[in-house]
Amino acid sequence: MFKRLAGADDALVALLRECNPIQRSEELLLNYLVERVLSQDLYSDSDLPAFNRAAMDGFAVNSCDTRSAKPYSPVYLDHFLPIRTGMHVPEVFDAIVMLEDAVLRGNQLEVIVEVYPFKNIAKVGEDINRGQTVMKKGHRLRPPDIALLAALDIGKAEVYSRPRVAILPTGEELVPIGSRALEPGEAYEVNGLMTQQYVEMWGGEPFLYNPIPDDLIQIRSAIESHLDMDMIIVIGGTSVGEKDYAPQILSELGNLLVHGIRIQPGKPTAIGTICAKPVICLPGYPVATLSSLYLFVRSALKKMARLKDDTKIVSAKLTRKITSKPGYLSIARVALDGDKATLVMVSGAGILSSVARADGFIIIPEDKEGLDAGEMVEVQLY
């Protein structure tokens, strides 16, 4: 039996309190910067544009030469230059007359509108001035940001390192994926692969290790030897059985903050710290692993990686009633058909195929006993 079950919210708060944004940084080339977060303000060494640039197709002119030009009283210029959008406007000109406002008459240009200085010109530094802060520390780099750096000839940037996450699956019946045929009683270790892929998607740098047997000393030694990581995820052996060592090791080596959470599935999740490093023990049943990944690991990683904890959510109407255990936060897998959500019927947290049939999940709060048919729900997409 668990000594004391924590509520899902309290467990998350306890975890996030122990997760600090990573302070280490690294310098990366432009092509590796998407979705990374700047660890320094970025300054520009140059002006953008670097020259007065034509903003229209037409003719570069001296604006004072066009004074009082009107359709019924054009002016005629000797000094002008045909120019196209994006081209350099030589210093001797200070405005562009648009194509439709001028006609070439032999060597002269007939102009029918007056232009003022810098009309239709993108001035030097109009976008960015030399010495200006281009982006601030903490900025998440999206493709147009990277284009801006490239335009300024900034070829690399210093960004925060991604949180390094050790993933330690446990269980003596487990065999690394595809490494050999299974003997009776064995299974492939698949939670580690799933966790690895999510850690990557959520901004972390995963380090997946081979399964560790259910042995106190081996599990403890694996945890201890990865305390240089930013987070440790232990999978399996988190319940209250004789060989569920992970929570015990947390108590011995550090602080076991939470052991057992009122969520379904995912109850045997444990959370603690060792040497100020967050350690999350995920239950070994894959559907429970998945619940705890979404409810706890995601937020923790996003905080450490300084990324917004945004999720893809769609609204849908429940086709059928869903029951849930009162006092527990329930994660129900649903399949979407247009704007209708239907519960994927399952008999246990071991049934991974139920997730294959689901598009996402809905969260039923602790204070509800379920949801009625016809209720609108928010579906978080897998």
Per DSSP, the three-state class of 272 is strand
Task: List the x/- string, 208-227, binding to its own copies by CB under 8 A.
Answer: ------x-------------
Q: What is the DSSP string of 234-245?
A: EES--SSSTT--
What number of other Cβ atoms are within 10 A of residue 364's Cβ? 22
Which stretch in 9-17, 45-53, 104-112, 269-277 sits in contact with its own copies by CB under 8 A?
A: 45-53
For residue 285, CA distances in Å to 92, 237, 288, 352 come to 75, 10, 5, 9
Site for its own copies in 191-210 (CB under 8 A): 191, 193-194, 197-198, 201
Nearer Cβ to its own copies (28/87): 87
CB of 353 to its own copies, least distance (A): 5
User: Contact between 48 and its own copies (CB under 8 A)?
Assistant: yes
Per-position x/- string for 337-366, each x denoting binding to its own copies as judged by CB under 8 A, each - no binding: ----------xx-xxxx-xx----------
**Applying CB under 8 A, what is the total number of residues that bind its own copies?**
75
Q: Which is nearer to its own copies, 109 or 148 (CB)?
A: 148
Contact flag: residue 335 with its own copies (CB under 8 A): no
Would you say 197 or 225 has its CB closer to its own copies?
197
Residues 58-97 binding its own copies (CB under 8 A) are: 84-88
CA 134/CA 14 separation, integer angstroms: 37
Q: Residue 88 corresponds to which amino acid?
A: H
Report the nearest approach of its own copies to the CB of residue 92 (Å). Answer: 14
Does residue 175 contact residue 342 with C-beta atoms inside 8 Å?
no
Tell me the C-alpha distance between 239 and 246, whole Å: 9
**Is residue 374 close enough to count as binding its own copies by CB under 8 A?**
no
Which parts of 165-194 interact with its own copies (CB under 8 A)? 171, 173, 177-178, 181-182, 184-185, 187-188, 190-191, 193-194
DSSP 8-state code for residue 294: I
HEC letters along 148-216: HHHHCCCCEEEEECCCEEEEEEECCCEECCCCCCCCCCCEECCHHHHHHHHHHHCCCEEEECCCECCCH
